[in-house]
């Protein structure tokens, strides 16, 4: 069963995303804080059968931002960094050149619909 990690400080968003992923037959872990999420990601085994297939991570988090998590993982675990979908209430089109939102391949602007999420998860997984 594939695994997903949902990282958001809003419980309602985590709950909704967890339900959606569970309906897609994922095992789901959650974090409400950037430091907790980074610890979980660093502890995630690299073996194909146990790593996170997809990570949905809010850009604005307590203690450590989604941007910081992505930056650290790009140097430590680049394959895992490529499976992160960043979410933000900020306008993606207004992101300055060179910023994470402008440069990262997988960014969802809140609010997003489930069809868009499903399409992006498929892209992350290469399906």
The 10s digit of each residue's pLDDT in 67-86 is 899 989 988 888 889 999 99
Q: Could you tell me which residues come within 8 angstroms of residue 94 by beta carbon, excluding any fewer than 6 positions away?
A: none
- pTM (global) more than 0.85: yes
Tokens of 121: 């998860």
62 vs 72: CA distance, rounded Å: 16
pLDDT in tens, 25-68: 999 999 999 999 999 998 877 655 458 999 999 999 999 999 89
Domains of the chain as residue ranges with CATH: 3-125 (3.40.50.2300)
């Amino acid at each position: 069963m594939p695994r997903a990690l949902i990282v958001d400080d809003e419980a309602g968003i985590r709950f909704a995303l967890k339900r959606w992923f569970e309906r897609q037959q994922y095992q789901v872990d959650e974090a409400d804080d950037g430091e907790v999420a980074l610890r979980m990601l660093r502890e995630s085994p690299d073996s194909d059968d146990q790593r996170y297939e997809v990570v949905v991570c809010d850009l604005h988090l307590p203690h450590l931002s989604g941007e910081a998590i992505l930056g650290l993982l790009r140097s430590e675990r680049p394959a895992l960094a490529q499976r992160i979908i960043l979410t933000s209430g900020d306008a993606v089109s207004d992101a300055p050149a060179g910023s994470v939102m402008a440069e990262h391949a997988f960014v969802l602007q809140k609010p997003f619909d489930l069809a868009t999420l499903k399409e992006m998860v498929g892209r992350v997984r290469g399906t």
